[in-house]
């Protein structure tokens, strides 16, 4: 969720983040409007979430070197501070809707349960920063840390349903941050594969992978972590992320989607309340799902529009809540 300066911004990153955020909005619209995932969760939701972690790792790398102090300030200002501001602001309406008290809402905020993805991202970036300091530029140490982190996630997921400040999901995220970091470091060599023929090959592999997943009934739910095959998840996450990265570096620019991608932190905080509100509104208007998916699309478009307008207002008039000093 780190912001790049305009002169250094790589537009494919914003394009990819924008599509991933739109996919999350669609998923949440389905859940709040229909009560369930209409499109199978494994088909895309798990991948767009893990792709966010890859992008975070990608943005960690700099040819000028890594500054732990600068990164720590960035995490505190750009992730943790917005987490507390937004989750606190939304805690009362959430408590009213879900039927729990103010005290429980505060406990959820303080323990990192109020917005699982943002909490996991903050912890993952903090841990990865420490790993980078320890590794001193040695990628084999990064890879070793990624393996042990993933094993730690497997162990914790078999013991706890939820973990303090989403440490289980953070450990799952670290391998993706590692892959993103190393990819950026070696990008001048890997960019050779950003060509249609390689993308087509990867697309065929992804289709085969997802077909087998569906046939075998493999579960890749990552919040809470209910993964039936962690080895498969690792392969799925790597293959699909590489496919998305190669594709998006070949796509033309789209300023609307790129704008969404450069403001994802606020969109993410809004992706629960707005779909829920639209779902309630449509029910009152007798425009329920009733098995017609076009109605989900209508609801989603309204969700995206309201979320975009709200995000624009926040960045325009109160940018400090996002960690920015000015718009």
Say which residues have a Cβ less than 8 Å from residue 196's Cβ, sequence separation at least 6: 250
As to burial, measured by CB atoms within 10 angstroms (0-12 exposed, 13-18 middle, 19+ buried), residue 159 is: exposed
Residue 226, H or E segment: strand 225-227
pLDDT of the residue at 104: 85
Spacing of C-alpha 17 from chain mean position: 8
pLDDT tens, position by position, 262-304: 999 999 999 999 999 999 999 999 999 999 999 999 999 999 9
Mean pLDDT of the chain: 93
Is residue 169 over pLDDT 50? yes
Q: Which residue has the higher pLDDT, 101 or 265?
A: 265
Cβ proximity of 88 and 140 under 8 Å: no
Res. 159: pLDDT tops 70:
yes
Torsion over CA: 68, 70, 71, 77 (sign): positive
Q: Calculate the alpha carbon distances from 209 to 22, 220, 244, 288 in Å.
A: 23, 13, 15, 34
| The two structure tokens encoding residue 183 | 């990819």
Looking at residue 324, its pLDDT comes to 78
The model's confidence at residue 240, banded by pLDDT at 50, 70 and 90, is very high
pLDDT tens profile 206-230: 999 999 999 999 999 999 899 999 9
Confidence of residue 6 (pLDDT cuts 50, 70, 90): very low
Q: State how far the alpha carbon of 285 is from the alpha carbons of 96, 290, 291, 304, 320, in Å.
A: 22, 13, 16, 19, 37
Please, what is the angle between helix 116-135 and helix 167-185, to 10°?
50
pLDDT over 90 (residue 2): no
> Which pLDDT score, from 0 to 100, does residue 98 have?
64
Instruction: For residue 9, name the pLDDT band (cuts at 50, 70, 90).
Output: low
Report how far residue 86's alpha carbon sits from residue 142's, in angstroms, rounded to the nearest whole number.
Answer: 33
Per-residue confidence (pLDDT) for residue 10, from 0 to 100:
87
67 Cβ partners below 8 Å, 6+ apart?
Answer: none
């Amino acid at each position: 969720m780190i912001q790049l300066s305009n002169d250094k911004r790589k537009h494919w990153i914003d394009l990819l983040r924008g599509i991933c955020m739109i996919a999350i909005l669609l998923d949440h619209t389905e859940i709040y409007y229909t009560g369930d995932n209409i499109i199978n969760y494994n088909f895309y939701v798990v991948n767009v979430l893990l792709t966010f972690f890859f992008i975070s790792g990608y943005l960690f790398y700099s040819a000028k070197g890594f500054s732990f102090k600068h990164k720590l300030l960035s995490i505190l200002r750009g992730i943790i501070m917005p987490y507390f501001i937004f989750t606190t602001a939304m805690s009362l309406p959430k408590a009213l809707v879900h039927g729990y008290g103010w005290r429980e809402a505060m406990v959820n905020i303080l323990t990192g349960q109020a917005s699982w993805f943002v909490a996991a991202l903050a912890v993952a970036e903090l841990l990865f920063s420490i790993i980078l300091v320890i590794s001193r530029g040695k990628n084999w140490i990064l890879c070793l840390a990624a393996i042990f982190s993933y094993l730690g996630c497997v162990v914790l997921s078999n013991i706890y349903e939820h973990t303090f400040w989403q440490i289980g999901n953070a450990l799952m995220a670290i391998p993706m941050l590692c892959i993103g970091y190393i990819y950026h470091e070696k990008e001048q060599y890997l960019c050779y594969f950003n060509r249609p023929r390689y993308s087509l090959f990867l697309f065929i592999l992804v289709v085969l992978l997802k077909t087998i997943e569906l046939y075998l009934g493999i579960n890749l739910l990552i919040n809470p972590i209910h993964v039936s095959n962690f080895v498969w998840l690792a392969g799925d996450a790597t293959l699909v992320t590489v496919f998305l990265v190669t594709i998006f570096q070949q796509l033309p620019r789209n300023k609307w989607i790129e704008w969404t991608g450069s403001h994802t932190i606020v969109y993410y905080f809004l992706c629960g309340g707005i779909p829920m509100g639209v779902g309630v509104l449509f029910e009152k208007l007798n425009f329920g799902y009733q098995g017609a998916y076009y109605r989900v699309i209508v609801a989603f478009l309204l969700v995206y529009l309201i979320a975009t307008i709200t995000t624009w207002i926040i960045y325009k008039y109160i940018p400090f809540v996002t960690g920015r000093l000015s718009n």
